[in-house]
Amino acid sequence: QHTTVEAKQLNELVVAKTKEIDKAVSDNVGESALTALKSEKDELRHAELAAIEWRPLWIKPAAFALGVLVLFYLLFWDRVRTQV
């Protein structure tokens, strides 16, 4: 629901890059080429995460938690004052 079309497309690129890395490992390519592929994958993954709509994703559970907090406060409020 909060994953945008862009994030889904970037995820497909991340999966493809992972397969490319696996093939490169099995083909014993050079370490520098492998490092470059991993760096490209990291950049794609970062872009994928940046494309997700995080604010609405976290607002819903935060609002629910706030509602539960208010409910607990109202239901379990000790109205009796104790003498010290």
Instruction: Give the amino acid at 83.
Output: Q
Mean pLDDT of 31-55: 94
> Distance between CA 26 and CA 15 in Å, rounded?
17
**Do residues 10 and 51 touch, judged by C-beta distance below 8 A?**
yes
H-type alpha helices, 1-84 = 5-26, 31-50, 54-75
Residues contacting residue 57 through CB under 8 Å, at least 6 positions apart: 2
Mean pLDDT of 15-21: 96
Q: What is the pLDDT of residue 77?
A: 79
pTM equals 0.70
